[in-house]
């Protein structure tokens, strides 16, 4: 029962070296995931790893050939990982942007964590106008998603948490992806 709690705590304490990250081949990603205790697949898993402690705590890691955001066409024959997404759901402790930020170091190691910390925030939401719209329409769901898009030297990063109408966040995601896909995602997030 406490497995997910241990995994979530372990994310904050462990630093696995980053060997397979967006831009690597499928084979390289598979080897890296097997060697990384935080995202190691079980017997029936490969690029989608799920850890469920209870209905109140869940952890998912997904390495994907697709860029983040809306599905888009990409060059045929390119069999590289374009994005990796960590999703947390925790009704007990909640999910914060700070917790997602710390997950970068825990999963990818210090070099990628440094790239993330030095990355420029190119989009942050909700904007003041979206918050004002939520107040005017008395609809907190308009501004329920909080997120940021960052541009590093090596990768781009997308963090997002979803808040309840009382301001508590129980779910969030962190996506590490190729810089080539940054403008696509930035345009998709323009209205947030």
Pick the range with the lowest mean pLDDT from 10-24, 30-44, 94-108, 137-151. Answer: 10-24
Task: Give the pLDDT band (50/70/90) at residue 182.
Answer: very high
Task: Give the pLDDT band (50/70/90) at residue 74.
Answer: low
Structural contact between residues 116 and 175, judged by C-beta atoms closer than 8 angstroms:
no
Using DSSP, state whether 35 is helix, strand or coil. helix
**Spatial distance between the Cα atoms of 127 and 129, rounded to a whole number of angstroms:** 5
**Spatial distance between the Cα atoms of 131 and 116, rounded to a whole number of angstroms:** 27
What tokens appear for 30 in the block? 């598979």
Within the chain, residue ranges assigned H as helices are: 3-13, 26-35, 97-108, 110-118, 128-136, 182-188
Q: What is the mean pLDDT of the chain?
A: 85
The reported pLDDT for the residue numbered 11 is: 46
In 3D space, the residue among 35, 45, 69 whose CA is nearest the CA of residue 178 turns out to be 69
**pLDDT tens digits, residue range 140-159?**
777 888 899 999 999 999 99
DSSP 69: S
The reported pLDDT for the residue numbered 153 is: 97
**pLDDT tens digits, residue range 94-151?**
998 888 888 888 899 899 999 999 999 999 999 888 888 888 888 877 788 889 999 9
**Spatial distance between the Cα atoms of 49 and 86, rounded to a whole number of angstroms:** 9
DSSP 100: H
9 pLDDT exceeds 70?
A: no
The reported pLDDT for the residue numbered 12 is: 41
**Spatial distance between the Cα atoms of 181 and 83, rounded to a whole number of angstroms:** 9
The reported pLDDT for the residue numbered 191 is: 81
Share of the chain above pLDDT 70, in %: 86
Pick the range with the lowest mean pLDDT from 36-45, 68-77, 140-149, 174-183. Answer: 68-77
**Spatial distance between the Cα atoms of 179 and 83, rounded to a whole number of angstroms:** 10
Query: Residue 129: how many CB atoms within 10 A of its CB?
Result: 9
**Spatial distance between the Cα atoms of 63 and 176, rounded to a whole number of angstroms:** 10
């Amino acid at each position: 029962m406490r497995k997910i709690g241990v995994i979530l705590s372990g994310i904050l304490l462990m630093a696995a070296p980053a060997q397979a990250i967006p831009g690597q081949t499928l084979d390289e990603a598979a080897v890296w995931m097997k060697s990384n205790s935080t995202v190691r697949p079980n017997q029936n898993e490969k690029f989608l790893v799920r850890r469920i402690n209870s209905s109140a705590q869940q952890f998912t890691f997904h390495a994907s050939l697709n860029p983040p955001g809306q599905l888009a066409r990409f060059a045929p024959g390119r069999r590289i990982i374009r994005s990796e997404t960590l999703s947390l759901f925790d009704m007990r402790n909640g999910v914060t942007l700070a917790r997602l930020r710390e997950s970068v170091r825990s999963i990818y190691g210090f070099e990628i964590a440094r790239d993330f910390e030095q990355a420029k925030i190119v989009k942050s939401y909700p904007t003041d106008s979206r918050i004002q719209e939520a107040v005017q329409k008395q609809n907190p769901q308009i501004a329920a998603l909080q997120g940021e898009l960052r541009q590093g030297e090596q990768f781009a990063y997308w963090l997002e948490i979803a808040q309840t109408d009382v301001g508590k966040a129980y779910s969030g995601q962190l996506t590490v992806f190729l810089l080539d896909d940054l403008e696509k995602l930035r345009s998709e997030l323009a209205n947030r």
